[in-house]
Chain A
């Protein structure tokens, strides 16, 4: 009795009950495919989040108005004594002796204005007045034209650099460089266009317009406080020291005695990156366990169907034993049947899983984890062996006369 013979018997056995074999296979298929797709979704979303954060610049820190510790929530009760962020704060941070880990500083004044050009209009999600250092700190690179200079800031020039969304809204196919647009009623000359950054959830990173700080303050926000300060650390590992240097300088300037109760908040991209990636790891584990459960259910389906099959074919087993089938041949036949079911289900599941991972799922582009494919496939085959083992052993242990008499 060769293995090939046993496999042939097993295939005949499965083919005799196509619908049932098909449905059992489907259980394993769904299990394997969901393991592959769900881990791909988990992996894809965590990669997406990381990419988005990296796109903002991992070296950069953002200081915003508001209370609490490093990441604390806004505490209203100390708002009265709170000082607002000012350009003077930003200038203080540029002191290389007090803050050796800081490479550059850019104060930002946000405005909510609408820009228009020859009848078309667009409201940038982010309209920022800032210094030229902003571009490097926030990873904004121009694809055409030029950045504005410190001179432009000092002179309060009406120049502007816009993102692709604004270009599309206002100009369509027209070359926007050196044209004049109006933003909040003020004329600006477009001197540069930023490279595309893409969309982050609801945030369109390309719906952006950047002008010199003094120009925006003079014409829109006034010279009072600013909204945020973007700081670039000398390197990614230096962001933590940069954060404590910022805290030391600002606490002194804002006369804060309790470091847990500040009137500003520092967002550290690098630490945000590590929290989100550990969050998405939890997410992936959750998804995978859901998938693993469905694989287990598929496995129990195999046991169930094989038990039914053994019971239904008890007489056949008796006949085979009466004509001299050794125990091993019966055991082998049922084991191979179970393994074939899970193998076919596994292969189909891998195919469906890989195809399914090419589609966007709830806005996430799945990225297949190769080990999940190998693992899901191996587990499905192991399930066939394991869950088929009990029914197969039961079939092989039947005494010939009992099996033959079975009604």
Chain B
């Protein structure tokens, strides 16, 4: 343990997210406090509807909380304007979804190049980085395939390559293996582990204990609250 205070990647304090009002009010998040330090590998578990995705979307700057504060890399997110938010999403965060969320009729190469294109990177640089990222997920030979020509596991790997290509400090994955079979699940989990050992912070939502096993820390949620937060035994 080092004594030097580290700036947390994620510093969430008493965050609330309510949908609707009055009788129909839904408290998706009801006072969540969570701190994640650089290099951590955190799994978030909990029953369906407990607020995991809601929390993840707030961490990924896709959604804004109703109350509470959120600092990313020490940066107060609520103070950022739209343009700054898009830069944060582009450079600091990589997001992987359960449903892959690839853009239809677009080659794997172009998908992975896209975050770099929005950064304004040069064509040559983009191509090289994209091919490197595709190589890292073992899909160098599928660079010109479109999503409908790829298996689920391959599509998810393209999505991971896209999330990692701009070297974000934080990788978020919302049930990344939820739509995959056991073999693809193992491949993806192995991939995430390698990414983590390279020093990147990872937060994964999952229902499966085998998946949670890979993480160093498991956070459990219920009814919009964190009910346990412990280091993984393994």
What's the Cα separation between A318 and B63 when bound, in Å? 12
Q: Determine if A168 is an interface residue (Cβ-Cβ < 8 Å).
A: no
Q: Determine if A321 is an interface residue (Cβ-Cβ < 8 Å).
A: yes
What's the Cα separation between A322 and B87 when bound, in Å? 10
- Asked whether B115 lies within 8 Å of A323 as measured between CB atoms, the reply is yes
Q: Determine if B154 is an interface residue (Cβ-Cβ < 8 Å).
A: no
What's the Cα separation between A324 and B118 when bound, in Å? 7
**Given the known A-B contacts A2-B120, A327-B86, A401-B57, are A322 and B103 also in contact in the complex, defined by CB atoms under 8 Å?**
no
Q: Determine if A1 is an interface residue (Cβ-Cβ < 8 Å).
A: yes
CB nearest neighbor in B for A9: B117
Q: Determine if A325 is an interface residue (Cβ-Cβ < 8 Å).
A: yes
CB nearest neighbor in B for A396: B82
Q: Determine if B162 is an interface residue (Cβ-Cβ < 8 Å).
A: yes
- Asked whether A323 lies within 8 Å of B162 as measured between CB atoms, the reply is yes
Residue with the greatest number of chain B CB neighbours at <10 A, chosen from A1, A323, A400: A323
What's the Cα separation between A5 and B115 when bound, in Å? 12
- Asked whether A323 lies within 8 Å of B105 as measured between CB atoms, the reply is no
What's the Cα separation between A167 and B166 when bound, in Å? 88
- Chain A residues numbered 1-59 whose CB sits less than 8 Å from any CB in chain B: 1-2, 5, 9, 12, 16
In the complex, chain A residues whose CB is within 8 Å of the CB of B104? 16, 316
**Given the known A-B contacts A12-B106, A16-B105, A319-B103, are A324 and B162 also in contact in the complex, defined by CB atoms under 8 Å?**
no
Q: C-beta contact mask, B100-133 vs A, less than 8 Å → 1, else 0?
A: 0111111000000011011110000000000000
The stretch of B68-76, B89-97, B220-228 in contact with A is B89-97
What's the Cα separation between A165 and B211 when bound, in Å? 99
**Given the known A-B contacts A1-B117, A1-B120, A400-B62, are A325 and B86 also in contact in the complex, defined by CB atoms under 8 Å?**
yes
Q: Determine if A326 is an interface residue (Cβ-Cβ < 8 Å).
A: yes
Interface residues contributed by chain A, number (CB under 8 Å): 23
Q: Determine if B209 is an interface residue (Cβ-Cβ < 8 Å).
A: no
- Asked whether B103 lies within 8 Å of A316 as measured between CB atoms, the reply is yes
Q: Determine if A254 is an interface residue (Cβ-Cβ < 8 Å).
A: no
Q: Determine if A261 is an interface residue (Cβ-Cβ < 8 Å).
A: no
- Chain A residues numbered 298-321 whose CB sits less than 8 Å from any CB in chain B: 315-316, 318-321
**CB-contact partner of B118 in A16, A323, A400, A401, under 8 A:** A323
- Asked whether A324 lies within 8 Å of B115 as measured between CB atoms, the reply is yes
**CB-contact partner of A324 in B63, B90, B106, under 8 A:** B90
In the complex, chain A residues whose CB is within 8 Å of the CB of B62? 321-322, 400-401, 404
- Asked whether A326 lies within 8 Å of B117 as measured between CB atoms, the reply is no
What's the Cα separation between A327 and B106 when bound, in Å? 21
Residue with the greatest number of chain B CB neighbours at <10 A, chosen from A12, A315, A318, A401: A401
**Given the known A-B contacts A316-B103, A401-B62, are A325 and B118 also in contact in the complex, defined by CB atoms under 8 Å?**
yes
In the complex, chain A residues whose CB is within 8 Å of the CB of B95? 322-323
CB nearest neighbor in B for A328: B83
- Chain A residues numbered 110-136 whose CB sits less than 8 Å from any CB in chain B: none
In the complex, chain B residues whose CB is within 8 Å of the CB of A315? 101
**CB-contact partner of A329 in B91, B101, B102, B118, under 8 A:** B118
Shortest Cβ gap from A15 to chain B (Å): 9
In the complex, chain A residues whose CB is within 8 Å of the CB of B63? 399-401
What's the Cα separation between A334 and B103 when bound, in Å? 16
CB nearest neighbor in B for A402: B63
- Asked whether A5 lies within 8 Å of B117 as measured between CB atoms, the reply is yes
- Asked whether B89 lies within 8 Å of A321 as measured between CB atoms, the reply is yes
**CB-contact partner of A326 in B103, B114, B118, under 8 A:** B118
Shortest Cβ gap from A262 to chain B (Å): 80
In the complex, chain A residues whose CB is within 8 Å of the CB of B105? 12, 16
Q: C-beta contact mask, B119-155 vs A, less than 8 Å → 1, else 0?
A: 1100000000000000000000000000000000000
What's the Cα separation between A322 and B102 when bound, in Å? 11
**CB-contact partner of A320 in B88, B103, B119, B163, under 8 A:** B103
CB nearest neighbor in B for A319: B101
- Asked whether B91 lies within 8 Å of A404 as measured between CB atoms, the reply is no
- Asked whether B114 lies within 8 Å of A323 as measured between CB atoms, the reply is yes
In the complex, chain A residues whose CB is within 8 Å of the CB of B82? 326-327
CB nearest neighbor in A for B89: A324
- Chain B residues numbered 155-183 whose CB sits less than 8 Å from any CB in chain A: 162-163, 166
**Given the known A-B contacts A5-B117, A12-B106, A401-B62, are A326 and B86 also in contact in the complex, defined by CB atoms under 8 Å?**
yes
What are the nearest 7 A-B pairs in CB distance?
Answer: A324-B90, A324-B89, A401-B63, A326-B86, A401-B62, A400-B62, A323-B115
Residues of A whose CB lies within 8 Å of any CB of B are 1-2, 5, 9, 12, 16, 315-316, 318-327, 329, 399-401, 404
Q: List 14 A-B contacts (CB under 8 A).
A: A9-B117, A315-B101, A316-B103, A320-B103, A320-B118, A322-B89, A323-B90, A323-B115, A323-B163, A324-B86, A326-B87, A326-B118, A400-B89, A401-B62
A320-B103, A323-B163 known, 4 other contacts, Cβ within 8 Å: A324-B89, A327-B82, A400-B63, A400-B89
